[in-house]
Amino acid sequence: MDEETYRTLAERGRAAFEIRGSEFVGHARPAAGRETAEAFVAEIREEYADATHNVPAYRVRESSGDSGHLLREYGDDDGEPSGSAGKPALNVLQQEGVENAVVVVTRYYGGTNLGVGGLARAYSRAVKEAIADAGVVEERPREQFSVTVDYDDSGTVRGILESASGDDGVEFDAEYEERVAFEIRVPKSEGDQLRDRLRSATSDRVEFGAER
């Protein structure tokens, strides 16, 4: 695998099974960063508020300036015995080698204690099966920034972004209000070149937002 790529999830995944009366539901999705990961955890906890536990784990890349990136890893037992849930869930993410990924395992207690070992196996299985359902792909490191232009230049900007989009190219969303704002995600190796193209095509009338 090229050092410039990393393994992540292709899409959202889900898995469900029952062990000795307890129902386990694994949820997984790609996450561009910590905010996305924590928002997904909050979403699942709200959707499954009646569950006994919602155990989260994630591994996400965070920028560390010119030196590249650092990997933030997190797992929480959410009330299960220490080491029986969050750590096994995170361990699966580590073993699978996936980054920019978040999982939450929901448990509805069925009345029979599974013990620390049994819980660890159940939470690990839920994460593995949710990842398998989501699928794993190789991704290139990306950066995100915004571009705001007047309507007169919006067609030019959109045309450049569309020509640069593809399976592994530029991704963008556009919001049309008083001016037109584009949220852009681009492989880091191509970000500077794209910004130069946009400046040139609009005679430097583009307004760039902060890079993320």
Sheet strands (E) in 90-191 = 101-108, 136-139, 142-149, 171-176, 180-187
Q: Is 78 left (phi over 0), alpha (psi -120 to 50) or beta?
A: left
Which residues in the chain show pLDDT less than 70? Answer: 1-3, 63-68, 166-168, 210-212
CA distance 78 to 75: 9
Predicted local distance difference test score (pLDDT) of residue 168: 59
Predicted local distance difference test score (pLDDT) of residue 149: 93
* Alpha helices per DSSP H over 79-172: 86-96, 115-134, 151-164
Domains delineated in the chain: 6-139 (3.30.230.30), 142-208 (3.30.70.240)
Token pair in block for residue 80: 């299960």
Q: Which of 55, 60, 96, 94 is nearest to 75 (CA)?
A: 55
Could you identify the residue written with the tokens 């399976």?
167
Strand order in the sheet with 171-176: 171-176, 180-187, 142-149, 207-208
Q: What is the pLDDT of residues 117-171, one digit of tens each?
A: 999 999 999 999 999 999 999 887 777 889 999 999 999 999 999 888 765 578 8
Close Cβ partners of 188 (under 8 Å, ≥ 6 residues apart): 140, 141, 142, 143
Predicted local distance difference test score (pLDDT) of residue 37: 95
Predicted local distance difference test score (pLDDT) of residue 80: 97
